[in-house]
Structure 1
Amino acid sequence: MVSPGHFSPYRLGVLASGGGTNLQAILDKCDSVEIPASVAVVVGNNSGCGALARARKAGVPAFHLSEYTHKAPGALDRAICEAMELHEVDLILLAGYMKKLGPVTLSVYADRILNIHPALLPEFGGKGMYGERVHQAVIDSGAKQSGVTVHLVDEEYDQGPIVAQKVVDVTPQDTAQSLAARVLEIEHELYAEVITLFARGRVKIQARKVEIIS
């Protein structure tokens, strides 16, 4: 069994801002070897966020890095990148991380940074589209389906190349809360599937096109 506190050959770095439910799912799936990797480091931009507490409880190095700890222009970007490099991270995962990444991290980890979004991009994404706002926007639009998107991260919110998507139906009775609960059920599954594809070298990226190798 792969313990979250002991590195396997494929190492994950996680960026988080909130309670850490996505992080916990990743930790659990690494521990059960459903994901053939280990979480090497967790960085949070909020010193009191639950994600940092979850990481420390699991024995994973966890750091608060934000505009408060690194005030100089570009300092936070460099600090995040250095934390990932120091822990020999292969793939960076955004797990409810609410900040844009800087050019240093994006360059060093090009095509190796993933985010998961609770809707079917390119619809219902962009700045400010997170949490129940996304699901309410889906319902208000009259869309018959929603779902989850895992995509590569670039300079803009939710604009990176799409790696994978899963769909759920939207019912006439849905509220933002009920739709969010149904989407969350597949969110953890899809993230684990995509992380596993990267860990096994089954993802080819060329000219912003993503191909899954069988």
Structure 2
Amino acid sequence: MIKNIAVLASGSGSNAENIACYFEANEQVKVKLIISNKENAYVLERAQRLGINSVVLPKSAWSSGEDVLAILQENEIDFIVLAGFLLRIPDLILHTYPNKIINIHPSLLPKYGGKGMYGDKVHEAVVANKETTSGITIHYIDGKYDEGQIIKQVSCAVLPTDTPEVVAGKVHALEYKYYPQVIEEILEKRD
């Protein structure tokens, strides 16, 4: 039986595209839907190019979550992947999809996590604080930003000469390699 994934993204969508390409030949897992909260997000162009159905749900739709849930159910979504999605997931969705929603964060949580800590802001803080390591954290989500149960962490070295852009490149490489693998591992265990 095919497991349908919805990927939620607010921006460029490079992780969403990477995940979709990873599962393209997989007969058991399909990226069926991409949801964004921003109508001008580049992830929507990526979805169109990849032939994946996409939907824009503005911030107002996320307060109760009823419209979001209706679209997830209409598309028979089994698992939700956050890939640069910046809004809080409503409790209604969390309760309907317990332990079926994961996120990737561009730091080794609990460091540099929480509301407002995303993307370049994280890498800038890592460099400003002279950290010697950074990395990624893949975790289940709960009602609080970046506090859900950790599934996997992978680190990379941060050199004293590294700029935030260099750190971002190292972290993106880890995201692209490990996020699809972790999704696949989780879904295989649910058979």
- Scaled to the shorter chain, the TM-score interval is over 0.9
The TM-score with structure 1 as length reference comes to 0.84
User: C-alpha separation between the residues in 1 aligned to 2:172 and 2:45?
Assistant: 21
Aligned residue among 81, 85, 104 for 1:116: 104
- Deviation digits for residues 52-103 of structure 1, max 9, x if unmatched? 12112222111111135x49x52xx111122111111111001111100111
- 1:193-208 correspondence runs (5 A): 193-201=181-189
Could you tell me whether the CA contact under 8 Å between 1:112 and 1:152 is conserved in 2? yes
> What count of residue pairs does the alignment treat as equivalent?
191
Superposed CA RMSD: 1.8
| Residue among 38, 60, 67 paired with 1:79 | 67
Please identify which structure carries the higher helix content. 2
Q: How does 1:1-214 map to 2 (within 5 A)?
A: 9-33=2-26, 37-67=29-59, 70=61, 74=64, 77-201=65-189
Q: 1:89 to 1:39 in 2, by over 3 A?
A: same
5+ residue gaps, structure 2, are none
Identity of aligned residues (%): 33
Greater mean alpha carbon deviation, residues 150-159 or residues 54-63: 54-63
Contact 2:10 2:86 in 1 (8 A): yes
Moved over 2 A (4+): none
Scaled by the length of structure 2, the TM-score of the pair is 0.94
Q: Distance in 2 between matches of 1:10 and 1:80?
A: 19
5+ long unaligned stretches in structure 1: 1-7, 204-214
